[in-house]
Amino acid sequence: MLNLDNKVILITGGSGAFGRKFIDITLRDYPGVRKIIIYSRDEMKHLEMMQLYPRKQYPQLRFFVGDVRDKERLMRACEGVDVLIHAATMMTLQASEYNPDETIKTNILGSQNVIDCALRCRIRNVIALSSDKACSPASLYGASQLVSDKLFVAANNITGGKDIHFSVIRYGNVLGTKGSVFHTFMERSKLGGRELPITDKRMTRFLISNQQVVDMVHYVIEKQMGGEIFVPKMPSYRVTDLATAIAPKMTLVEVGKRVGEKVADDLIAESDALSTLETRDFYVIIPFMSYMDNTSKEEYMEYYKANPVPEDFHYSSNSNTVFETVETLREKIRRYIDYNFKAR
């Protein structure tokens, strides 16, 4: 049973939707947590969150303006921290392709800074949030995320016997994320246009809510051995169904794929099948090389009550066995709007 009493939690890139949801759920379910530190470089989002969570009502919260590129500032934020959740990333495909050096500085060098600071400050639980774009990447953003994933997995090899555990959670599109197709469709619908642009009508994506991501983070804090990439099971959706759910009267216009864009997203490649275990609720990719005192595949299986997947297994949004419908998408959109825009 997860116990966060008197724990200090740091979230890099924590001023976004994940940070807000994590605060709400964690303070509700684990009122004994001592401190949650929100660390990001967006001072306007900090201001919005401080207004949303006033100090008198939420004395556990701290807001640090800082960048994961700034190792000295990050080191200061890490002092006394028990759990570190790394959510800071440069994630827009177009911006990453046009500004590759900036993407590398944040997604790769920033990740290495997080690892170095966690080791120096002896932070016991370190969890990096990743993306389906990191699996079989077709863009610089995806490639940088893949490198970040591998850095966090390999970090378990340099703990020097310290009680420090690095793991990754890789998941699909989060409903409502700015810059996503959901956000684009919602904005077009609000403007009252007649058409919605779709790059390819065959396109499918994985879908997950911030609630599910937070639940997975809590699970990993409690259970992680170190070196795992956790992949929660989630439904897929057809982009055409999402468009219909948001704006049923608007015409769908196919405009062609952008460079680096895939028709379907993958979460586990076939090349990872030999290292992948399955539980009821998630998959776990164990280290290709054993970093945890030569922990065997069988020991991971026993610990997580998991079974190996078939050798030809891969987890793709177009071959998934579970798909959202227009009706279920509408219900999820309604809940998202109620949560994000209701009066607090």
The percentage of residues in the chain with a pLDDT greater than 70, rounded to a whole number, is: 97
> Counting Cβ atoms within 10 Å, is residue 72 exposed (0-12), middle (13-18) or buried (19+)?
exposed
The arithmetic mean of pLDDT across residues 211-231, rounded, is 96
Let me know if residue 78 belongs to a domain: yes
Let me know if residue 35 belongs to a domain: yes
Which CATH number goes with the domain that contains 60? 3.40.50.720
The arithmetic mean of pLDDT across residues 35-45, rounded, is 96
What's the pLDDT at 261? 85
Q: Which domain holds residue 161?
A: 8-171+209-232+269-317
What's the pLDDT at 277? 98
| E-only strand ranges, the chain | 8-12, 35-40, 61-65, 83-86, 125-131, 165-171, 173-174, 195-198, 204-208, 229-232, 236-238, 251-254, 266-268, 276-278, 282-285, 307-308, 315-316
pLDDT tens, position by position, 107-164: 999 999 999 999 999 999 999 999 999 999 999 999 999 999 999 999 999 998 899 9
Let me know if residue 342 belongs to a domain: no
Let me know if residue 176 belongs to a domain: no
The arithmetic mean of pLDDT across residues 51-69, rounded, is 96
The arithmetic mean of pLDDT across residues 237-255, rounded, is 92
Greater confidence, 184 or 128? Answer: 128
Let me know if residue 54 belongs to a domain: yes
How many domains is the chain partitioned into structurally? Answer: 1
Is-contact 217 84, C-beta < 8 A? Answer: no
**What is the average pLDDT score of the chain?**
93
Let me know if residue 140 belongs to a domain: yes
Let me know if residue 255 belongs to a domain: no
The arithmetic mean of pLDDT across residues 208-232, rounded, is 96
Look at the chain and count its residues: 344
87's tokens: 């959510």
Is-contact 93 261, C-beta < 8 A? Answer: yes
Query: Does the pLDDT value for residue 93 go beyond 90?
Result: no
Greater confidence, 290 or 240? Answer: 240
Alpha carbon distance 248, 251 (integer Å): 8
- For residue 317, give Cα distances in angstroms to 205, 231, 232, 236: 5, 13, 13, 5
Query: Does the pLDDT value for residue 343 go beyond 60?
Result: no
The arithmetic mean of pLDDT across residues 301-310, rounded, is 96
Is-contact 234 172, C-beta < 8 A? Answer: yes
What's the pLDDT at 191? 78
pTM above 0.85, yes or no: yes
The arithmetic mean of pLDDT across residues 186-201, rounded, is 84
Let me know if residue 305 belongs to a domain: yes
Helix or strand or coil: residue 258? coil
Question: Which are the catalytic amino acids?
Answer: 133
The percentage of residues in the chain with a pLDDT greater than 90, rounded to a whole number, is: 78
